[in-house]
């Protein structure tokens, strides 16, 4: 019995050391098989605190305090527009949502990035090519334009991790993918009653 008690922590320690040695080796392999190209550099392989937390194997699930702290710091860093300044131009927003270009080494870094929203969401009901990783956003405007709705959508787009700590959606504002103006235009694309996203709603 006493021997079992001493062996168990030793086995756990051993597994931990093997696991972290393997993780280090995997990280080195990943880096050595890639190279900087144009404006895309190996810095992208480095994980920040949030990515590290969300990439842990299931056996090492993170604790709730860390999850809450990461979510809160994501939320605290979101710059909020003034109440009457959340919505831009839905037509420009449509172009941003439809554009999947940007951030690849073959893209022109002088051109603004796209949001690639259709890769994961249904938006305009007449668009047949869309991904389903995220929920359908068709008819999103039915939720109205109350301040809490505007704030929710803005925060979600700026840094989705402020709500869902291990979300699979890109951090469009926080990661500098889209500009504030592009995000306001996308907000209008989602919420404006004239936007095709809301074409199925009765006026």
> Residues in the site for ligand HEC, rule: CB under 6 A?
97, 115-117, 119-121, 133-135, 137, 153, 156-157, 160, 164, 167-170, 172, 186, 190
Closest C-alpha to 74, from 148, 150, 157, 159: 159
Total residue count of the chain as it appears in this document: 203
Comparing CB distances to ligand HEC, the nearer of 41 and 136 is 136
Rounded to an integer, what distance in angstroms lies between the CA atom of residue 64 and that of residue 76? 18
Minimum distance from residue 56 beta carbon to ligand HEC (Å): 18
Rg, the chain, Cα only: 21
Cα atoms found within 13 Å of the Cα of residue 95, Cβ hemisphere only: 9
Query: Do 177 and 102 contact (CB within 8 A), yes or no?
Result: yes
Minimum distance from residue 87 beta carbon to ligand HEC (Å): 13
Question: Across the strands, what pairs with 40?
Answer: 37
3-class state of residue 103 by DSSP: coil
Comparing CB distances to ligand HEC, the nearer of 56 and 143 is 143
Question: Which own/partner pairs from 125-131 qualify as long-range (CB within 8 Å, at least 24 positions apart)?
Answer: 125/196, 125/199, 125/200, 126/196, 126/199
Comparing CB distances to ligand HEC, the nearer of 56 and 168 is 168
Comparing CB distances to ligand HEC, the nearer of 23 and 98 is 98
Comparing CB distances to ligand HEC, the nearer of 71 and 121 is 121
Minimum distance from residue 193 beta carbon to ligand HEC (Å): 17
Minimum distance from residue 48 beta carbon to ligand HEC (Å): 17
Minimum distance from residue 42 beta carbon to ligand HEC (Å): 22
């Amino acid at each position: 019995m006493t021997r079992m008690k001493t062996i168990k922590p030793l086995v756990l320690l051993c597994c931990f050391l093997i696991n972290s040695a393997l993780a280090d080796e995997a990280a080195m392999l990943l880096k050595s098989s890639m190279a900087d190209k144009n404006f895309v550099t190996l810095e992208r392989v480095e994980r920040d605190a949030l990515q590290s937390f969300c990439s842990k194997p299931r056996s090492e699930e993170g604790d709730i305090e860390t999850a809450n702290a990461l979510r809160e710091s994501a939320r605290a860093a979101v710059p909020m527009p003034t109440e009457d300044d959340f919505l831009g131009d839905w037509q420009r927003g449509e172009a941003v949502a439809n554009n999947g270009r940007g951030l690849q080494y073959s893209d022109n870094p002088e051109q603004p990035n796209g949001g690639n929203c259709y890769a994961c969401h249904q938006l305009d009901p007449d668009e047949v090519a869309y991904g389903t990783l995220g929920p359908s956003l068709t008819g999103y405007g039915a939720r109205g334009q109350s301040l809490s709705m505007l704030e929710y959508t803005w925060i979600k787009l700026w840094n989705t991790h402020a709500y869902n700590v291990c979300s699979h959606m890109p951090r469009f504002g926080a990661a500098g993918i889209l500009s504030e103006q592009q995000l306001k235009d996308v907000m209008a694309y989602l919420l404006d009653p004239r936007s095709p996203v809301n074409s199925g709603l009765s006026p």
